[in-house]
Structure 1
Amino acid sequence: MRERFDRLDLNLLRVLVAIDRSRSVTEAGRILSLSQPATSNALARLRVAFDDPLFVRAPGGLAPTPLAERLAPAAARQLEALELALSEPAVFDPARSNAEWRLSLSDLGEIVFLSRIAAAVLGQAPSTRLSNAAVPAARIADALARREVDLAIGILNPKLRGIRSALLFRESYVALGGPDSPAAWRTRAGFSGVSLVVTSPTATFHQGIEQSLVRQKLGDRIAIRARHYAAIPDLVRNAPVVAIVPEMFAHMACERQPLASWPVPIKLPVFDIRMVWHEATERDAAQRWLRQRVLELFRGRRGGPA
């Protein structure tokens, strides 16, 4: 194995890691800005160097061999460590920057975070651009490692390899209804008979609220499962239903429409809202500037507007 390492072109390790993450030669080439033939050639050289196929065809893409399962994570760690070592802090001038910031926010995140981030960022860095990739929570770590996104905000797992995080605030859920919602709906008995609305977006979110309702024997009261939070205000204004929504969203909705919000008369979990990023960007001056703007806007906020 030592002789194999001495003969190995270390640039090939980037190809090994990219194929392991994407499970596709074509996609790995796109990540590395290589042509498909060049990426295939690199894989062929890796196979010769290690005397192992490394990746074999399988349903849904390529599957790693046992040797590749050992090599790829180790190579990824060493490449990330090298990138960190070579990343010297640089001066970032927001007034002159034309960076494109790539965020991952759910549809709820777009409603409560994006406009404030845009105002703060573009106010100081007017030539930069913002885009939201809305990466599903299960893919956040991979998307950050592949630089598909710079940071993500939401109910996210901070204990993933290569991920750094900062707690922004803790979010409670409240009831949101129409302006004429009966006072009885604010009691445990009345709430048990009302038709409920919950949301099920896919990005940066988990299903803790619906699970809590089921545990409290209110699962059968869920009348509507909406895909997007944007639909909630019109639903509760026009139908005799109550939505279970984050407190920050409820405040915003009540500011824009004649709606009513009140504490849910049952016990629901409180969620940590985090900003996460990849450790490889920890010292990057531009990335640090962006993260600082987010911290200034949201760290320690409760449900009310900033």
Structure 2
Amino acid sequence: MDFGHLDLNLLVVFDAMFRHRNVTVAGRELGLSQPAMSYALLKMRAAFDDPLFVRVKSGMQPTPRALGMVDTVRDVLQRIQSGLLSPAMFDPASSNREFRIATSDVGESFFAPPLMRALRSHGRHLQLRVFSLTPSALEQQLESGDVDLAVGYYPDLVGADFYQQGLFTSHFVAIAAKDNRHVKGKLTMTRFLQAPHVDVATPGRSQEIILRHMVEKKIVRNVPLQVSRFLSLLEIVSQSDLIAIVPRETGELFRNARGVAVHALPFDSPTFRLRQHWHKRFHDDAAVRWLRALVHELFQDLDSPANQQPLPK
């Protein structure tokens, strides 16, 4: 028999007939009428060149050919059900999956520790890899599956190819050494403009927001130093009279570290929404879907009043 011409629905009819040995009962289970069941039996007999089920006093009994087929038929049906028809499942407790997320350099310090703790609490063999990528490289990595999620501020990841989910809203603060002579306990606009600043130029896009905002407000600063990483600010600010503008989460990381203080800006700060992004190819991937739910659970309420600690005065 040519396998390409086999109607796999006949295997379902075969299994029901083998279990019930009754055409009417088997048809009722499958939702098929008596004529439809009779037609299916004719097709089965022609396909396998055997009667398969013969009517006797006790009902429809299987032929030797049917008895020899039953285990194989049930194995095929079970494999189709579990491998094709059942939704894919992910069990973190038994998985050694390596999850890969992209975020900014400071995002590594903010997102990775709580995420890794949560992963380890669900499965001791789960792994995490964190990357910092340019926007163009990030799109390619998400599409290929080399990166599972991008977490942070990524305004370029839009369009039909990408999904996104909001996590929390952030704004900007200033950091300075506690003994910074320009701040003197409170950062006023005059002191802000007089103080020397250090800026960060990274592939991340959040700093563009505050820079554009200050241009619109005609706020001109003295910026003698520019660096490429947020994390270098901790050493620079703590050992100089420079101040820096950073996202609030960065300020929280640096709060009280090595003599660094966090201050509200002397003008209204713009806000921006941090999100998790993923490619449509992996929208229904069970492991990535589980990871997205975990990230959302960990970070979704960080902008609520209950989770916003006041800045020190």
TM-score, with structure 1 as normaliser: 0.66
**Aligned residue for 1:27?**
none
CA distance in structure 1 between the aligned counterparts of 2:186 and 2:302, rounded to whole angstroms: 28
Q: CA deviation at 1:266?
A: 2.0
Give how far 1:273 is off: 0.6
Aligned residue in 2 for 1:169: 168
Could you tell me whether the CA contact under 8 Å between 1:135 and 1:204 is conserved in 2? Answer: no
Number of residue-to-residue matches in the alignment = 220
CA separation in 2, counterparts of 1:177 and 1:269? 20
Q: Write the mapping of 1:63-82 to structure 2, written as runs, cut at 5 A.
A: none
2:143 matches 1:145: yes
Equivalent position amino acid for 1:174 in 2? V
Map of 1:1-306 to 2, 5 A cutoff? Answer: 89-157=87-155, 158-181=157-180, 182-183=183-184, 186-203=187-204, 205=206, 207-302=208-303, 304=308
Partners of 1:103 and 1:151 within 8 A in 2: yes
What does residue 82 of structure 1 align with? none
Unaligned 5+ segments in structure 2 are 1-83
Per the TM alignment, residue 208 of structure 1 is displaced from its structure 2 partner at its CA by 2.1
- The separation in 2 between residues aligned to 1:162 and 1:184, in whole angstroms, is 48
Alpha-carbon spacing, 1:253–1:220, altered in 2? closer, same or farther (3 Å): closer
The amino acid across from 1:140 in the alignment is L
In the aligned structure 1, how far is the partner of 2:256 from the partner of 2:118? 21
Offset, 1:100: 1.0
Give the 3-state SS of the residue equivalent to 1:207 in structure 2.
Answer: helix
* Aligned mates of 1:143, 1:205 — CA distance in 2: 21
1:230 and 1:239 map into 2 onto residues whose CA distance is 15
Deviation at 1:143? 1.9
**C-alpha distance in 2 between matches for 1:88 and 1:270:** 43
Tell me, yes or no, if the aligned pair for 2:186 and 2:263 is still in contact at 8 Å.
no
Residue 139 (structure 1) shift: 3.4
Once residues 118 and 304 of structure 1 are traced to their aligned partners in structure 2, the CA distance between those partners, rounded to angstroms, is 22
State the distance in 2 between where 1:195 and 1:206 align: 18
Distance in 2, matches of 1:143 and 1:270, equals: 28
CA distance in 1 between counterparts of 2:85 and 2:218 reads: 53
The alpha-carbon deviation at position 213 of structure 1 amounts to 2.9
* Equivalent residues of 1:99, 1:128 under 8 A apart: yes
Task: Give SS of 2:89's match.
Answer: coil
Q: How far off its partner does 1:258 sit?
A: 2.5
- Counterpart amino acid of residue 248 in structure 1: E
Deviation sequence 1:78-134 (CA, Å, 0-9, x none): xxxxxxxx8963121111101111111110111111111111112212212211232
Residues 191-217 of structure 1: CA deviation (Å, up to 9, x unaligned): 111111221111465522223333333
1:155 touches 1:273 (CA, 8 Å); kept in 2?
yes
Q: Which has the larger radius of gyration?
A: 2
Provide closer, same or farther for how the CA distance between residues 202 and 121 of structure 1 changes in structure 2, counting only shifts above 3 A. same
RMSD of the alignment, in Å?
2.2
Identity %: 26
1:151-184 per-position Cα deviation (integer Å, ceiling 9, x unaligned): 0011112522310101111111001111123337
TM-aligned CA distance change 1:304 to 1:272, over 3 Å: same
Superposed CA offset, 1:250-304 (max 9, x none): 1121143332111101233211111001122222221111111111111120385
